[in-house]
Amino acid sequence: MVILYQLERTWGIPNLSHFCCKTETYLRMADIKYAIKATLPLFAPKRKLPYIEDGDLKLADSRFIIRHLKTKYKDLDAGLTPSESALSLAMQRLPEEHLFWATMYSRWQYTDANWQVNKKAIFGVMPPIIRDLAAAYYRRRIQRQILGHGTGRHNAEEIFELGMQDIDALSACLGNKKYFLGDQPTSLDASAFGFLINTLGCPIESPLKEHGLSKDNLRNYVDRIKAEYYPELRQQQS
Residue 235 confidence class, pLDDT cut points 50, 70, 90: low
Decide if 109 is inside a domain: yes
Decide if 236 is inside a domain: no
Q: Quick: pLDDT tens for 61-116.
A: 999 999 999 999 999 999 999 999 999 999 999 999 999 999 999 999 999 999 99
Domains: count for the chain? 2
User: Residues 203, 138: one domain?
Assistant: yes
Q: Above pLDDT 70, what percent of the chain?
A: 98
pLDDT at 129: 85
pTM of the model: 0.95
User: Residues 63, 109: one domain?
Assistant: no
Instruction: Find out whether 82 and 178 touch, Cβ atoms under 8 Å.
Output: no
Q: Quick: pLDDT tens for 164-217.
A: 999 999 999 999 999 999 999 999 999 999 999 999 999 999 999 999 999 999
Decide if 154 is inside a domain: yes
| Residue-level length of the chain | 238
Decide if 80 is inside a domain: no
> Structural domain of residue 18, as residue ranges?
2-72
pLDDT at 238: 40
User: Residues 130, 65: one domain?
Assistant: no
Per-chain mean pLDDT for the chain: 95
User: Residues 161, 99: one domain?
Assistant: yes
Cα distance between residue 163 and residue 176, in whole Å: 22
Of the candidate ranges 155-159, 191-195, 231-235, the one whose mean pLDDT is the lowest: 231-235
Instruction: Find out whether 229 and 221 touch, Cβ atoms under 8 Å.
Output: no
CATH number at residue 22: 3.40.30.10
Q: In the predicted model, what is the mean pLDDT of residues 21-42?
A: 95
User: Residues 209, 118: one domain?
Assistant: yes
CATH number at residue 214: 1.20.1050.10
pLDDT at 40: 83
User: Residues 185, 130: one domain?
Assistant: yes
